[in-house]
Amino acid sequence: MKVVAAMSGGVDSAVAAARAVEAGHEVTGIHLALSRNPASHRAGARGCCTIEDANDARRAADVLGIPFYVWDLSERFHADVVQDFEEEYLAGRTPNPCLRCNEKIKFAAVLDRARALGFDAVATGHYARVVEAADGTVEMHRAEDAGKDQSYVLGVLTQDQLRHSLFPLGDTPKPQVRAEAERRGLLVADKPDSHDICFIADGDTAGWLREKVGDRAGHREGTFVDHGTGEVVGTHSGSYAFTVGQRRGLRLGTPAPDGRPRFVLDIEPVSGTVTVGPREALTVDRVHGRSARWCGQPPVGTLEGTVQLRAHGSEHRARVGVDGDEVVIDLLDPAQGIAPGQSAVVYQGTRVVGSCTITATARVGADAPVSPA
């Protein structure tokens, strides 16, 4: 096959490209220029998509002896990922930009361009497995290395996209990938992994949001209100800086009567009201979602399986009901701190069924959702 290898400049994508070459594919390496400020450089080990990363990717392609190009998708990335991130926080929701990037950029814009140029598939360094089922459908499963599994952020992929995707690292633990990179002479073998959100290189999400959206009308000062008493217990400079489940950085002026810490329970962006309360008030056992994306055929009736509600979160046993674009998930294992805007990814065993965007959460029997969108 003719394969585009998306090379970020890290060790995972370099080894994935090497394995695609070794498998006999005709491989072309591409690096995505996603930053609208290409002169920027890495801050510690947090950033990605910088000049340094592009150079690392090019050197890896040279070692592998494959053609290498840089594709500038910075404008589309800004519109589909960065601006979406800003707008979601302004609306009081908590998005996952990695899922949005996979949905809109890596497996849409890149795959569409690759196929238009005559390529058959895109290979990436994601830790997930793709297998063909007995009925001919393509299934995505969790990676063998549970600690590195990235199937959650790939839960937005459709059947057509999975048919044209290669994940060569899905059956390999990360230490073995680094050892393989060293054997192959790839200089990125010991390069640290990138962390956090790629376009917020210093990891200060609240500071970044304050700079980007802090001056927008209606999103300045607001109040913290206690969940139990309705009392105003503090002020803040913008509700966009908070997310459901947050404890740190609240700087409340009034302590709780019982002395226990308070957590963000709800965000009302129009009034700027952030409701806070005890940890137990975060507990939910029903999740509502929409914008469902299924890796194969949509479930019919009620599906028994598990759901993952955060990129690095645990699985929860669940019953999933689907009605068109609406998804209702009853959690047999309750969860805490689940925010609208996050994604719920549905599994049966290790197989990824699909995903939806969380719109509200509830405690069954409550009069209203705990965290309405």
Same domain membership, residue 264 and residue 135: no
Mean pLDDT for the stretch of residues 292-305: 91
Q: Are residues 53 and 126 in the same domain?
A: yes
CATH number assigned to the domain comprising residue 9? 3.40.50.620
Q: Are residues 107 and 176 in the same domain?
A: yes
Has residue 208 been placed in a domain?
A: no
The more confident residue out of 156 and 249 is: 156
CA separation, residue 165 to residues 78, 81, 146, 316 (Å): 24, 21, 20, 28
Same domain, 49 and 161: yes
Q: In terms of domains, do 107 and 6 share one?
A: yes
Please answer whether residues 359 and 289 qualify as being in contact, where contact means their C-beta atoms are separated by less than 8 angstroms: yes
pLDDT of residue 202 exceeding 80, the answer is no
- End-to-end Cα, the chain, rounded Å: 44
pLDDT over 60 at 153, yes or no? yes
Flag whether 107 is in a domain.
Answer: yes
Q: What is the pLDDT of residue 262?
A: 94
Q: Are residues 7 and 56 in the same domain?
A: yes
Helix (H, G, I), strand (E, B) or coil at 272: coil
Within this chain, do residues 249 and 343 fall inside the same structural domain, yes or no? Answer: no
**Domain total in the chain:** 3
CA distance 157 to 82: 20
Q: Do the Cβ atoms of 361 and 347 come closer than 8 Å?
A: no
- The whole-number pLDDT of residue 318 equals 97
Q: Does 129 map to a domain?
A: yes
Does residue 347 contact residue 308 with C-beta atoms inside 8 Å? yes
Q: 197 or 347: whose pLDDT is higher?
A: 347
Mean pLDDT of 337-355: 96
In a domain, 210, yes or no: no
Residue 30: which of 148, 129, 135, 113 has the closest Cα?
113
Instruction: Show the tokens assigned to 312.
Output: 């690095």
Whether 299 and 336 map to the same domain: the answer is yes
Tell me: do 309 and 328 sit in the same domain. Answer: yes
Q: 260: domain CATH number? A: 2.30.30.280
166 pLDDT above the threshold of 70: yes
Residues 235 and 296 occupy one common structural domain: no
Average pLDDT over residues 71-87: 93
- Residues 78/79/85/89 CA torsion (nearest 10 deg): 130
User: How far is it, in rounded angstroms, from Cα 54 to Cα 217?
Assistant: 38
296 & 308 share domain: yes
CATH code for the domain in which residue 311 is found: 2.40.30.10
Helix (H, G, I), strand (E, B) or coil at 142: strand
Which domain range does residue 290 map to?
281-362
Q: Per the domain annotation, does 193 fall within a domain?
A: no
The conformational region for residue 90 under phi > 0 = left, psi -120 to 50 = alpha, else beta, is: alpha
Q: Would 73 be classed as within a structural domain? A: yes
- Which residues are tagged catalytic? 101, 198
